[in-house]
A and B are shown apart, each in its own frame.
Chain A
Amino acid sequence: MDTLTEFFPVLLFFVVAIVFTLAPVLISYLVAPRTSGKKTLTTYECGVKPFGGAWIRYSASYYIYALIFIAFDVDVLYLFPIAVSYTKGAKAYEFYSLLAFVLILAPAIIYAWGKGVFTWKRKIQL
């Protein structure tokens, strides 16, 4: 009950966002004129006939960035509970545990850096 009232507005806004995006498209669908030409519905490619499809293999440089992101972002999320319970003054062990956490996390970047991820090479072996 409590969580429901807490997050009810989120649910409400979620649903309304869907309605709010569907409505103008629907109105436009009813109001707008239709054009029909031979080439109206072709995919745009600077005026020429589309040359093959777009669903092809893609450069793997992006893939490596995605990998470091996953390794990193999940860990960064664990900093949030630390941030909420961090106290001012005294209890020095809190700082040491934060330090240890960051020092374990930092090598992920240093490792990727050393492996040449950030030099934008064609092939990188992680």
Chain B
Amino acid sequence: MNEIINIVGKEVVRNVIGLVGVLVVVVVNVLILTWVERKVSGHMQRRIGPKEVGPFGLIQAIADGIKLLGKDIITPEDVKKPLYFLAPIVIFIPVLVSFVVIPFDSFLQVKDINVGILVIFAFSSLSVLSLLLAGWGSNNKYSLIGAMRSVAQNIAYEIPLLLALLPVIFMCNSFSLKDVVEAQKGIWFVVYHPIPFLIYFIAGVAETNRTPFDLAEAESELVAGFHTEYSGMRFALFFLAEYSNIFIICAVATIFFLGGYQGPILPGIIWFFIKTYALAFIIVWFRWTFPRVRFDQLLNFSWKVLIPVSFLWLLITGGMLKIL
């Protein structure tokens, strides 16, 4: 009996430490990514970007956070209250839970669940629900149009996202993210599977509602899409979830295709963050390179190109594994 309590106690302590670490990563990631986004955007448009608060404007994001905390929380009178209040909570749950299974280093992982990637996918489909809650609950036409679009978009791009990871799972026969990384000791999977990597990345950009696929919140036509009616801290929560989602998409791409924490000389965790933020930088870069696509083009690109190509690649992978 004592032994069981001992083991359970150890497990709980381990998880709580992991939780604190993850919360730090989530918050720091948002601070870094917003800073990178504004600085990179600035330089791409021949501006300087934030520079007043702290060295190189590094503390700007913290100042913005404090400002948002001091903003009045307005609940418009026409909203459907339960749905409106629930949406920012529901959008954050999948983000935080996904961090449970991400291996930052060979020993830095909250829990190596043997169905790791399924946990991430199962929870990330919850975020669609939250967008719909926000859009419907706001009782605002822009919000509703934005929510409808983003639901159609998210479900269309979820399939290529799953299919692009399948060839990798075919090769290493495991859902555990740690096993996937360990299988890439010699050669990264991006060498075997360049096309699934591209498909995954495109679908990932679409899943996070980033330009060129940001029709859900197209600011020039829909104001802000599903979060038009949200202000102050509730808006900040949507923001937090969006940037954390970018991190998760990039982290999963790193784990499945770029060898995760594997790399020479430097410790694993540094390699992991270098690769992840390199991908995040590319996503920010996209925003100032590609114009927004039209909505039917967006959906049809997924159904007509990405899904058939990833099926074909799956078959080729299956065949090659048998022949070689």
Write the residues of chain A forming the contact surface with B, with a CB cutoff of 8 angstroms: 5-10, 12-14, 16-18, 20-22, 24-25, 27-29, 31-35, 40-46, 50, 53-55, 58, 62, 65-66, 68-69, 72-73, 76-77, 79-80, 83-92, 94-95, 98-99, 102, 105-106, 109, 112-113, 117-118, 120
Q: Which residues of B contact A105 (CB under 8 A)?
A: 311
Is there contact, CB below 8 Å, between A89 and B100? Answer: no
Which residues of chain B have C-beta atoms less than 8 A from A90's C-beta?
Answer: 322
Contact A80 B118 (CB under 8 A): yes
If A31-B70, A84-B173 touch, does A65 touch B155 (CB 8 Å cutoff)?
Answer: yes
Neighbouring A residues of B97 by C-beta, 8 Å = 10, 13-14, 17
Q: B67 to chain A: closest CB distance in Å?
A: 11
Which residue, A17, A32, A95, has most C-beta atoms of chain B within 10 A? A17
Query: Among A27, A69, A95, A113, which residue has its beta carbon within 8 angstroms of that of B156?
Result: A69
**Interface residues of B, count at CB 8 A:** 83
- B-side contacts of A25, CB under 8 Å: 73, 88, 233-234, 237
Q: Which residues of B contact A17 (CB under 8 A)?
A: 89, 92-93, 95-97
B151→A62 contact, CB < 8 A? yes
Which of B32-40, B254-262, B301-309 is the interface stretch?
Answer: B301-309
A118 CB to nearest B CB, Å: 5
Kindly state the separation between the CA atoms of A19 and B159 in the bound complex, as whole angstroms. Answer: 32
Closest residue of chain A to B18 (Cβ to Cβ) is A9
| Contacts A113-B304, A118-B300 given; does A29 touch B113 at CB 8 Å | no
Ordered by A's residue number, 14 sampled pairs between the chains whose C-beta atoms are within 8 Å are A7-B113, A8-B111, A16-B23, A25-B73, A28-B232, A32-B70, A41-B75, A41-B77, A42-B78, A44-B140, A90-B322, A98-B314, A106-B308, A113-B304
